[in-house]
Amino acid sequence: MSVRGPALLREQNQKKLIHLLRKHKQTSRKDLAKLMGVSKNTISLIVDRFINEGVIKEVGIKDSHKAGRPKILIELNADVFKSLGITLSNESIDYVVTDYCLNIIDKGSDKVDSRQVGEVVAYLTQLIQRTKQEHDGLIGVGIGIPGIVNTEEGIVYVSTKLGWKDVPLHSMLTQSAMLPDSMSLIIQNSVKMTALCAALTKEIHHNPSFFYIRIGEGIAGAFFQHGQIWDGVSWTSGEIGHLSVEPAGPPCSCGQIGCLEQMISIRSYSQWMSDREKIPTQVQIDTVQKQYGKYLGAALISVINIMNPGLIVIDSPYNSNTYFKQAVLDYLRANALEIPLSQTRIEFNEQPYIQSLGAAVAVIHHYEQ
């Protein structure tokens, strides 16, 4: 313990320093010591080592016109570490390669029958091996799966979209791709990974807790608190798509009636469009999306009252429609408890978050833990 204790503390300080440099872009040794609550000597030892290893570089002088010793600015050499983020859908696999500051340096999408586990594993093995060869400094691989995933063991319990059940993807890829111990392999629900992407945006970063909801072919959410995604004991937290919001609605595969996913998913909207004999007018579209906003508001009341987040991020294809957004807010003001609602900010993002980028973020998030 006498040896491991200092070594563990040193490793924690190193990861915290890298995290702060990624967050602040440029800073000084003195500012890092203040942020981390450690001595300047401790910071200097870490920084000097990282400079020698090419992880950090000095980039200039701050406040050179002021009296006293000027601060030397330092920043991460973002190219030293790389992350591979991958997401699976029914018929394709998307991926991005990023540097440590999450700038995308490579990306792609390939047609793959993701229902075939063997075909997916073969493709992912080839992709990981190719990325290791083409991009030095790969620290890990993140894979987003649409379904219930045991993140600790990397087992896909159920994925209705992919037709998977009890697939030990982590162990399968660790063997086939011959991953070294130094390279992490993170397998998680794709929406929860995308929430990590949302957590890094400027508007969200300072909130201790937020709930992220993504509306697509299905609907799911993720609760982020104190720097971590809350998975729940069965890895199913955030399943907002299966809250019943319409007693007269259609049956859902989960066994309930009128689930949010059945009422406002892209699949439901596409069905509504195809059922029209004529192309719907803008007034008809606005009316439907206004109703969608009411349904979403009804589901969010449970999130606000039970989870009490400081922020709710709505990642939806309907966000450009004013009637949809206003209906969500109006329903909440009329029906949610006043005190928790007053402390919860609602944000409609302008552009959808890239799910494969969220998978890459998961690798970096894990690296800094």
- Residue that wins the pLDDT comparison between 27 and 208: 27
- First and final CA of the chain: distance in angstroms? 21
| Predicted local confidence at residue 166, as pLDDT | 97
Q: At 64, is the pLDDT very low, low, confident or very high (cuts 50, 70, 90)?
A: low
| Predicted local confidence at residue 6, as pLDDT | 67
173-189: per-residue pLDDT in tens? 999 988 888 899 999 99
231-270: per-residue pLDDT in tens? 999 999 999 999 999 999 999 988 999 999 999 999 999 9
Question: Any idea which of 143-147, 166-170, 197-201, 286-290 has the lowest mean pLDDT?
Answer: 197-201
Check whether 4 has a pLDDT greater than 60.
Answer: no
Instruction: Write out the DSSP string of 16-72.
Output: HHHHHHHHHSEEEHHHHHHHHTS-HHHHHHHHHHHHHHTSEEEEEEESTTSSSSPEE
Q: At 2, is the pLDDT very low, low, confident or very high (cuts 50, 70, 90)?
A: very low
Check whether 1 has a pLDDT greater than 70.
Answer: no
DSSP structural state of residue 242: G
Check whether 153 has a pLDDT greater than 80.
Answer: yes
Check whether 170 has a pLDDT greater than 50.
Answer: yes
| Predicted local confidence at residue 11, as pLDDT | 84
- Residue that wins the pLDDT comparison between 219 and 60: 219
Report the distance separating Cα 16 and Cα 367, nearest Å: 10
Closest CA to 154 of 106, 121, 123: 121
| Predicted local confidence at residue 99, as pLDDT | 94
Report the distance separating Cα 304 and Cα 240, nearest Å: 12
Check whether 3 has a pLDDT greater than 50.
Answer: no
297-340: per-residue pLDDT in tens? 999 999 999 999 999 999 999 999 999 999 999 999 999 999 99
Which H helix or E strand runs over 88?
Answer: strand 82-88
| Predicted local confidence at residue 205, as pLDDT | 63
**Average pLDDT over the chain, rounded to an integer:** 91
